[in-house]
Amino acid sequence: MDFETVMQELEALGKERLKKMYIGNGAKEPLFGVATGAMKPMRKAIKKDQKLAEKLYATGNYDAMYFAGVIADPNAMTEEDFDRWIDDAYFYMISDYVVAVTLSESPIAQEVADKWIKSGEELKMSAGWSCYCWLLGNRKDHEFSESKIEAMLEKVEKTIRDAPERTKSAMNNFVYTVGISYVPLSEKALETAKAVGPVEMKRDKKKNSILHAAENIQKDLDKGRLGFKRKYVRC
């Protein structure tokens, strides 16, 4: 499939109801409103195509940017490529569910995510913390430095309340993910979540959210989900 064909297919798959929902979450024109599941036949046909992914991502069209992440080849992307993608990620559904997910399948994932977490920029920090959620939920525990993850938990406890809103959400998810998916520090994550307590996240034009990492960790531990790992990160 070439660029024009993919764009035509995406437009044909668009739904006005989903378009309105995406806009309500922060997306902006241009976009079609495509359900992620509806993209699977195209993904199977294309598999990975980095050149096509770059063209699609550069359109600024939310659906095309999402599909770019689906067919990207993370092993072919450099740190500069990921920096360019995060610079163009204008809201959290791109930063956390396209860029961070794609980065998590790259061999330089932790290095780039660490840099973004230190950036002081809301969506870069959010993507960095989110990338660790995808990593911890997929890769084996021994691939991570326990002392590093513990230091990150301590950073969350000290800084989450003063963090930008989307970063708060990603940090909260990080604590939850460590609690469920990273066995060596599950207890530490639950202690951290209890110490932090409920965190309020302000949302534009919507009711504020209350984040409860401790409750969510405990619920899943009670269901026997300790050590949960995803088989795949990208759809």
The answer as to whether 162 is a domain residue is yes
Asked if residue 59 lies in contact with residue 99, where contact means CB atoms within 8 angstroms, the answer is no
Range of the domain at 194: 109-235
The answer as to whether 19 is a domain residue is no
Interatomic CA distance for residues 137 and 232, integer angstroms: 9
Confidence at 220, pLDDT banded by 50, 70, 90:
very high
Q: How many structural domains compose the chain?
A: 1
Q: Is 201 exposed, middle or buried (0-12, 13-18, 19+ CB in 10 A)?
A: middle
> Which residues lie closer than 8 Å to 221 by C-beta, 6 or more apart?
179, 180, 186, 190
Interatomic CA distance for residues 106 and 127, integer angstroms: 14
pLDDT at 235: 58
- Percent of the chain exceeding pLDDT 70 equals 100
Average pLDDT, the chain: 97
Q: How many CA atoms does the CB half-sphere of 204 hold within 13 Å? A: 9
Interatomic CA distance for residues 98 and 119, integer angstroms: 19
The answer as to whether 130 is a domain residue is yes
Interatomic CA distance for residues 71 and 49, integer angstroms: 6
Average pLDDT over residues 83-109: 98
The answer as to whether 166 is a domain residue is yes
Q: How far is CA 114 from CA 100, 120, 227, in A?
A: 12, 12, 24
The answer as to whether 70 is a domain residue is no
The answer as to whether 168 is a domain residue is yes
Interatomic CA distance for residues 57 and 156, integer angstroms: 31
The answer as to whether 228 is a domain residue is yes
Confidence at 203, pLDDT banded by 50, 70, 90:
confident
The answer as to whether 135 is a domain residue is yes
CA dihedral 140, 145, 150, 152 (to 10 degrees): -90
- Percent of the chain exceeding pLDDT 90 equals 95
